[in-house]
Amino acid sequence: MAKRAQSNVPPPTDLYVSQLLEKISDGKHVMSFRKGEKVFSQGAQADAIYFVHAGKVKITVVSSTGKEAVLALLGPHEFFGEGSLVGQSLRVSTATTMEAATLFRVEKRAMLHALHDQAQLSEKFMASLLARNIDLEEDLCDQLFNHSEKRLARVLLKLARLREHNILPDAEIPTLSHETLAEMVGTTRSRINHFMNKFRKMGLIDYNGGLTVRTELLTDLVLHE
């Protein structure tokens, strides 16, 4: 990955975590990415961990047959690339920005020292990993037990939560192709087209330059079939 110039940091989106990371004097860099840029690629050396300061990042993996799957969608305040801290020498996934993003890149050794020396940072980091684990368990249950329409509704709600912790009644979400949504849901693009048109007719989503999710109505669909 090409080395980037250090940028000026905008006002922190998570003051507490950002302040904790600021205490790392060596081995930390602030990096800016445009939409659609790769932060790291599957198979690259795993030598650092990342914190999303602003923007959104998509984590994907490609099988030996070329099939791509979306593992996670991450927004501000979230860490990724943590496998490097536990002996992962090569990246098992690819991280790509979904919009312009500012990331903290912390080298493996610097992050391990910081977690050892800063109990508060260690607590925040552990909470982030536990939340990710819970989310992955919910995704697995979703794939095992729910039909594709309900899985799509849950994916749209997850996208709505990427920007704000307190989800708004009407939330504009990142624009993803129906092909990408199909990969995330585990169904075909034609089925996604059908369900998205159905959601629009039901007033659950709206296209007005972007994609707006009526979160309360869509949540009701997810909870009450």
Is residue 80 a contact partner of residue 115, using CB atoms and an 8 Å limit?
A: no
Q: Give the pLDDT of residue 20.
A: 86
pLDDT per position as a tens digit, 28-70: 999 999 999 999 999 999 999 999 999 999 999 998 888 888 8
Confidence of residue 82 (pLDDT cuts 50, 70, 90): very high
Mean per-residue pLDDT of the chain? 85
Is residue 73 a contact partner of residue 56, using CB atoms and an 8 Å limit?
A: yes
Q: Give the pLDDT of residue 174.
A: 74
Q: Give the pLDDT of residue 41.
A: 97
Distance CA 35, CA 120 (A): 32
Is residue 165 a contact partner of residue 17, using CB atoms and an 8 Å limit?
A: no
Q: Give the pLDDT of residue 8.
A: 39
Which of 92 and 220 is assigned the larger pLDDT?
A: 92
Whether the predicted pLDDT of 215 surpasses 50: yes
Confidence of residue 87 (pLDDT cuts 50, 70, 90): confident
Matching fold, domains 15-140 and 146-223: no
pLDDT per position as a tens digit, 100-139: 999 999 999 999 999 999 999 999 899 888 888 888 888 7
Distance CA 8, CA 52 (A): 15
- CATH code for 15-140? 2.60.120.10
Domain boundaries in the chain? 15-140, 146-223
Q: Where are the beta strands (DSSP E) in the chain?
A: 28-33, 38-40, 48-54, 57-62, 68-74, 79-80, 94-97, 101-107, 170-173, 205-207, 211-214
Architecture of domain 146-223: Orthogonal Bundle (1.10)
Q: What does the radius of gyration of the chain's CA atoms come to, in whole angstroms?
A: 18
pLDDT per position as a tens digit, 177-214: 898 888 888 889 999 999 999 999 999 999 887 889 99
